[in-house]
Structure 1
Amino acid sequence: MSFELDRIEELCRDRGWSRYRLAKEMNVSPNSIGNLFRRTSVPSVPTLRHICRALGITISQFYGTDGLTVTVTEQQKGFLEMFNRLSPGDKQKVEGYIEGLLAKDGESGL
């Protein structure tokens, strides 16, 4: 399999997503995702952009696996700015809320 397909699998696994869930998040048929993996070729740039949008990451984050360089989207930057203005107690509440949302969806906590 290509690096890109392995990385898609890794990112889905990290989120507790199946290929079916990825297809739903992308608003494409599950067969489209299945075909992508059956061909085992490198996905096109537009396809990778679509996958990254569904995963909530940038192309830079997709390829940045070393953890040293992190690029955040404008939405993520806005959340971080708001989070940084919260009191320590409110930050704990936000973290608990997010963990609750993830647990509700059957995903593992932070």
Structure 2
Amino acid sequence: MKFLFKVLDRITFYRTQKGWTEYQLAEKSGLTQSTISSWYRKDMVPSISSLEKICSAFGITLSQFFSTEETSFSLTPLQKDLLEASGHLTEPQQQALIEFFKLL
């Protein structure tokens, strides 16, 4: 059961980081709120396809979701595009962009 709580804890962690309710996560992932809440009520592990939808909503990969080390992760295609697009900015512009993202 340790694995179950880790998965659900990770979903809760990412959801609260975004400031989302279960309903908002359901909307953004394309899953129903009853599906998400049933995972917690019934101590169920979500299917891989459901986890892929959850990760997509969070803007992370499955690899990032399951990563145990903060330094070991891969970027999504959109994250790569963001990095490449910001590459031409000066350091102060990049810092301003980071501050802007934090406000979102």
Pick the TM interval, shorter chain: 0.7 to 0.9
Report the Cα distance in structure 1 between the residues aligned to 2:24 and 2:16, rounded to whole angstroms: 11
* Number of aligned positions between the proteins: 101
Deviations 1:10-55 (A, max 9, x none): 1112222221211111133211211122121211111111111111
Matches of 1:53 and 1:66 in 2, distance apart?
20
The gaps in structure 1 that reach 5 residues or longer are 103-110
> Corresponding residue for 1:50?
53
What one-letter code is carried by the residue in structure 1 that aligns with 2:97?
V
By how many angstroms is 1:89 displaced? Answer: 3.0
Greater shift, 47-56 or 9-18, is seen at 9-18
Structure 1 range deviating more: 8-17 or 57-66: 8-17
* C-alpha distance in structure 2 between counterparts of 1:26 and 1:53, whole Å: 7
The within-5 A match list for 1:7-46 is 7-46=10-49
- Residue 65 to residue 14, structure 1, CA distance change in 2 (3 Å): farther
2:67 paired residue number: 64
Q: Which runs of 5+ in 2 are unaligned?
A: none
How large is the Cα RMSD of the aligned pairs? 1.6
TM-score (norm 2): 0.84
Superposition misfits of 4+ residues, deviation over 6 angstroms: none
1:83 is displaced (CA, Å) by 1.2
What percentage of aligned pairs have identical amino acids? Answer: 34
Structure number with greater CO (CA < 8 Å, separation at least 6) is 1
Normalised to the residue count of structure 1, the TM-score between the two structures is 0.80
